[in-house]
Structure 1
Amino acid sequence: MRRVLISGASIAGPALAYWLRRYGFEVTVVERARGLRPGGQAIDVRGPAIEVVRRMGVLEEVRRRSTDLRGMSVVGDNGEELSTTTDRTASGGDVGGPDVEILRDDLAAILAGAGEAEYVFGDAIASLEQDDGEVRVVFESGARRTFDLVVGADGVHSSTRRLVFGPEEDHLRHLGSYLAVWTVPNFLGLDRWEVVYPMSGDFWGAMVMSVRGNREARVYVGFDADAPPAAFLPPEVSEQKRLVAARFAHAGWELPRLLKHLADAPDFHFDALAQIHLDAWSRGRVALVGDAGYCGSPASGQGTSMALVGAYVLAGELARAGGDHAAAFAAYERELRAYVTGNQALALVNQARRRGQDETGEAALPQSPREVVDAYTLKDY
């Protein structure tokens, strides 16, 4: 029970690979991209996830490569400053607090560099068959290999989940919003600073932050739309860029200049705010971790932390179970189900608050979602 294939090399995949290798497993990570994926939004390492990266020995490096923002401003249509603060930012929360905000691609590189797993880039799982003894995998390249276990860590649109658990629409819950992110030159001259431009109606507006020593900036735009991703998202990136540009064509502030960089942005990312809800995170010898199994959406602010904690717990339970994967998968879910449920409910609360709506409804729990999340304590393995 020592050969494990992990699909996906963003956050959960490399973290799981690190811990499994530490416990003596033979690990292969397959990633469809030709290398670690560039771009993506700034993400947050919070609460118990801070302890996970500390135990991995990479906390200081994560802190060193943080966004290191000093504060934020809110501006109007003509660039007039409506408010400013050095206490917090919209993306990362309290300035100077224990949590760490870092670019997704920077964290992925740190995690992948921490372990010694085999990485196979430019390939993906095409099909798999499992029985009581093994999982037989056929890759898109035509290669065939056999593993004891397979773990899907391939994101909210997980192909591993689709192969084993069925169509995405059976598990994806659309939260009614879309978010686009891309990189631009820091022509606004931001110095470790974030600027928020709110808009009315269905538009969230835009947010720009300086990153990587102010050498570049990341742009975020968001809007509400009830249409589900399968019916709304064009498959081609070029069409997605045109959709975003058209949606914000009449916006004020600096958005016209920011949108001019869309066409050439190599790291453009556009997707729905959505969650994944499954009755179980494993089936036979295949399990899911992170967004593939229980995406909370960017509205939770907890997706990265769930991925890191999930990877740590899954690896720990596999090591503790001594070869009994069924027992390990069941223990993994028992340990994390309340933490995940609280984080997903927190996203609903945040969405409702942003829209000025009642914060209860689907998010109602015996405790508040924040209390559930904050009560979680990392286990020792």
Structure 2
Amino acid sequence: MGTKVKSVLISGASIAGLTMAYWMKYYGYEVTVVEIGAEPRRGGSPIDVRGDALHCAKRMGVLNAIKEAKLPTKGLKFVNAQNEVQGIMLVEEIGAISPDDTELRRDDLVDILYATVKNNVTCKFSNRIIRLDQNEKEVRVTFKDGMEGIYDFVIGADGIHSGVRKLIFGEESQFTHFLNFYFSVFTVDGKLGEQNYAHMYNTPNNMATVYFYNKDSADTLLAFRTSNQITVDRYDIEGQKQIVIDAFKGIGWKVPQLLEELKRSDNFYLDQGCQIKMPTWTNGRVALIGDAGYAPAFPTGMGSTLAMQGATVLADAMAENENHEIAFSIYNENFRAVVEELQATVYDGMSLVLPDTEDKINTRNKVTK
């Protein structure tokens, strides 16, 4: 009698989830991916694949595709209200770990990863997990569409607001560490940017950035500091837009034009700047990867790298250890130092992109001039 093929359900079809799906299939698992969206989770500003994540990509056979999708980024220019350059950081100076670090569109990375699994794993789009019941042998899953399934393991790769984490580990508030800022991402007319550069304009506690990389539209990131958390209805997009409009009222440079673009945007995203910190990323037969378990926040520039790296570390541990408790213990112990070291860099990143005084803005600009 042959050995039973183990099954895994992965919640989330983005960078962490698709990386995990590749490795689980590679290691002989029957893989199902469930995604709340109608397709893999795209969108967002350009991201970086750095350090050990490049090694993961090489092992997966996608490193060349990632390098071919590399953006022709030249650097980041700090500008004043008249759009005069006050300082500049070349691309190789911005958080680089090695010369091979690669910046690409988030959409491109998701598409590259999805191409590795779409023909050999089962994908349940426009669906999500609403109930999880586990015992020492299996996890019983109920989906939103009413269907049920039984899996050997469930992996939560469903982002900062992880549904899997809430069902198994408890309320999000236990693990969210608010960093006293909010950020929004959306696309604007490419004419508002400079080809192959990012332009950043700051006033104390506010930042507006436009990235333009050889397409008709540019990517915009607006961020603002606040001492208090804001009540945000995740389903009220117009209300979310108003929060950003109010935060940037009266600010110069291109901000009035960006806010007009924001009002018309159909791909606007708003969230709090936060990190996810947990004492363990596993419970029984359920594990968390990526932002669901250890979101580092965008000022670190390491979210995608941690997502790919963490998925690979967990998958390797599960392949090397028949006993999942041992595998999960290795994942928790061996990857924690990596996560904590990277999360600790967030404050350096915030001081660069979100200075809270005019003097700090001027000092940064002088240092980079």
TM-score, normalised to structure 1, is 0.87
Partners of 2:347 and 2:6 lie apart in 1 by 39
Structure-2 separation of matches of 1:111 and 1:50 = 13
After superposition, give the CA deviation of every residue in 1:218-243 in whole Å (9 maximum; x if it has no partner).
Answer: 001111012235x3565412211121
Distance 2:87 2:114 in 1: 39
Structure 2 CA distance, aligned partners of 1:294 and 1:313? 14
Give the deviation of 1:214 after TM superposition.
Answer: 3.1
C-alpha distance in 1, partners of 2:351/2:191? 34
Percent identity, please: 36
Partners of 2:185 and 2:152 in 1: CA distance:
38
- Alignment-derived partner of residue 3 in structure 1: 7
Residue 32 (structure 1) aligns with: 36
Paired residues of 1:233 and 1:271 also in contact (CA < 8 A): no
Distance 1:216 1:124 in 2: 32
Q: Which amino acid letter does the alignment assign opposite residue 60 of structure 2?
A: M
Aligned equivalents of 1:194, 1:355: Cα separation in 2: 17
The residue aligned with 2:218 is 217
Deviates more, 1:261-270 or 1:96-105: 96-105
Corresponding residue number in structure 1 for 2:261: 261
Equivalent in the alignment of 2:131: 127
* Paired residues of 2:193 and 2:199 also in contact (CA < 8 A): no
Matches within 5 A, 1:66-215: 66-84=70-88, 87-88=90-91, 93=95, 97-115=99-117, 116-188=120-192, 190-200=194-204, 202-203=205-206, 205-211=207-213, 213-215=214-216
The separation in 2 between residues aligned to 1:329 and 1:251, in whole angstroms, is: 49
| Counterpart residue number, 1:346 | 345
Alignment partner, residue 312 of structure 1? 312
Letter in 2 for 1:224: R
Amino acid at match of 1:31: E
1:145 partner SS: strand
Structure 2 unaligned residues grouped into runs of 5+: 358-369
Q: How does 1:9-28 map to 2 (within 5 A)?
A: 9-28=13-32
Q: Judging changes above 3 Å, is the alpha-carbon distance between structure 1 residues 192 and 311 closer, same or farther for their aligned structure 2 residues?
A: same
Q: Distance in 2 between matches of 1:137 and 1:189?
A: 47
What CA deviation, in whole Å up to 9, does each residue of 1:240-299 have, x standing for no partner?
Answer: 112112211211111111211113322211111111111111100110001101111112
Aligned counterparts of 2:44 and 2:62: Cα–Cα separation in 1 = 21
- 2:361 equivalent in structure 1: none
- Using structure 2 for the length normalisation, give the TM-score: 0.89
Aligned-pair Cα RMSD in Å: 2.1
Cα distance change, pair 158–77 in 1 and its aligned pair in 2 (3 A): same
Question: Does the alignment pair 1:241 with 2:241?
Answer: yes
Match of 2:345, SS state, is helix
Task: Find the residue that maps to 2:261 and give its secondary structure.
Answer: coil
Number of positions where the alignment pairs a residue of Structure 1 with one of Structure 2: 350
Instruction: Give ranges in structure 1 of 5+ residues lacking alignment.
Output: 358-381
Write the letter of the residue equivalent to 2:344: A
Q: Which moved further from structure 2: 40-49 or 73-82?
A: 73-82
| C-alpha distance 76-275 of structure 1, shift in aligned 2 (>3 A) | same
Give, in angstroms, the shift of residue 76 of structure 1.
1.1
| Counterparts of 2:233 and 2:344, CA distance in 1 | 25
